[in-house]
Amino acid sequence: MTTQAKDRRKKFVVIGNINVDHVVYVKKLPRVDEVVSGGELDIHIGGKGANQAVAISRLGGLPYMIGCVGNDHLANLAIEALERKGVVTSYICRSNKHTGTALIIVDSEGNKVIAVAPGANKDIKPEHVDAFLQNTDTEINASLIQIEIDIDTLGKILGRLKSKGISVTLTASPPKELPEYILRNIDILIANLLEAQIVAGVDSRALDLSSTRKAAEVLAEIINSRGVKNVVITIGSEGSVIYSDSEGTIHVEPVKTADVVDTTGAGDVYTATLTYALAEGYSLYSSALIASAAAAIKIRHRGAQEGIPTFSEAISFLKGMGMEI
């Protein structure tokens, strides 16, 4: 009698949007009422939730995706693509609304504009998380979620996850001011400087803006004081600022790369990599550095889910630059 080998991969649940991205690559972004022709069209599976799930799989983890799609042909396209990329889709629900769709225009320097029709993504409910928690006996290492979900639903979902002792990483996008009952249920919050101001409900005039880094440090401490144990604020070319109860405030140097092709999905790769690294036992500082490396590798490729490195490739990239983790 043989027994099935245990899957030793780290397990994650990702809750969020699933979109089908229609991406047009042009030399320059159009102005209002301007038509820019000569572009190239690519169709990719996107949405912050789906991007993070695919990134977790590529890094070496096993992601369970919770989200909603429609009953249209785009839904089948999305689910089949996620399954091919190693995402467990059993807990993706069907809705009578259309599958989420994003229209993205990317110029020759990687700059972009995005319009999103969320459709079925609006139908994510706490009951979908309940179904997952009740029907899986898998030990989940961490969860990833975004603020694309409405605040009331987000609060209930976070409560469910925390009641099971599951660590929560929240991406503060699209940014909304978050009440303290939500912040207390977040283990890691990841935001850029503007997102952090909105989440904290802080006017920029109340900050020390002598430098971007100083503003990020002030915001990280404010958000931490309201209940978030670990805060990561990205500051573009200056890297990031992290704050944790155990490590205090630390500046994380940037990981730079040439040949930027498309920054779509880079933030999702960053979030997934940081969460994965923490699950592997790395410190918040090292996790943020590895996440920066993974995002730097990804932006050399077109599409939100193309060019995502494995975890070992991200670490090798850092070592190749002489950076210590």
Q: Which domains does the chain have, with CATH numbers?
A: 11-320 (3.40.1190.20)
What are the tens digits of pLDDT across the range 142-165? 999 999 888 999 999 999 999 999
Cis amide linkage into residue 174, ω under 30° from 0: yes
| Backbone torsions φ then ψ of 92, nearest 5 degrees | -85, 125
On whether the CB atoms of residues 101 and 120 are closer than 8 A, the answer is no
At a CB cut-off of 8 Å and minimum separation 6, what does 170 contact?
A: 145, 146, 147, 158, 186, 188, 189, 190
Question: What's the mean pLDDT in 178-199?
Answer: 94
Per 3-state DSSP, the chain is made up of helix, strand and coil in percentages (nearest 5) of 40, 20, 40
- Residue 265: closest CA among 224, 232, 295: 295
Instruction: Tell me the average pLDDT of the chain.
Output: 92
Which H helix or E strand runs over 11? Answer: strand 11-15
Question: What's the mean pLDDT in 278-294?
Answer: 96
Helices and strands per DSSP (H, E), number in the chain? 10, 13
- Residue 293: closest CA among 272, 305, 309: 309
pLDDT of amino acid 4? 53
The token pair that represents 169 in the structure block = 């990483």
Taking the mean position of all CA atoms in its chain, how far away is CA 92?
18
| DSSP-assigned beta bridge partners for residue 193 | none
pLDDT of amino acid 164? 94
pLDDT of amino acid 5? 61
**Does residue 220 sit in helix, strand or coil?**
helix
Residue 304's pLDDT band (cuts 50, 70, 90): confident
The token pair that represents 153 in the structure block = 């639903």
pLDDT of amino acid 262? 77
**Of 16-20, 208-212, 295-299, 308-312, where does mean pLDDT reach its minimum?**
208-212
277 versus 305: the higher-pLDDT residue is 277
Residue 226's pLDDT band (cuts 50, 70, 90): very high
18 versus 236: the higher-pLDDT residue is 18
138 versus 291: the higher-pLDDT residue is 291
On whether the CB atoms of residues 143 and 169 are closer than 8 A, the answer is yes
Question: What's the mean pLDDT in 217-237?
Answer: 93
Pairwise CA distance, residues 275 & 287, whole Å: 8
Residue 125's pLDDT band (cuts 50, 70, 90): very high
Residue 30's pLDDT band (cuts 50, 70, 90): very high
What are the tens digits of pLDDT across the range 75-92? 999 999 999 999 999 999
Asked whether the predicted pLDDT for residue 235 surpasses 70, the reply is: yes
Instruction: Identify the burial level of 236 via C-beta atoms within 10 angstroms of its C-beta, where 0-12 means exposed, 13-18 middle and 19 or more buried.
Output: exposed
pLDDT of amino acid 141? 96
pLDDT of amino acid 209? 64
Residue 1's pLDDT band (cuts 50, 70, 90): very low
Which H helix or E strand runs over 159? Answer: helix 151-163
Question: What's the mean pLDDT in 98-103?
Answer: 95
Asked whether the predicted pLDDT for residue 264 surpasses 50, the reply is: yes
**Does residue 130 sit in helix, strand or coil?**
helix
pLDDT of amino acid 10? 95
Residue 136's pLDDT band (cuts 50, 70, 90): confident
Pairwise CA distance, residues 236 & 216, whole Å: 11
| Backbone torsions φ then ψ of 176, nearest 5 degrees | -145, 150
Asked whether the predicted pLDDT for residue 2 surpasses 60, the reply is: no
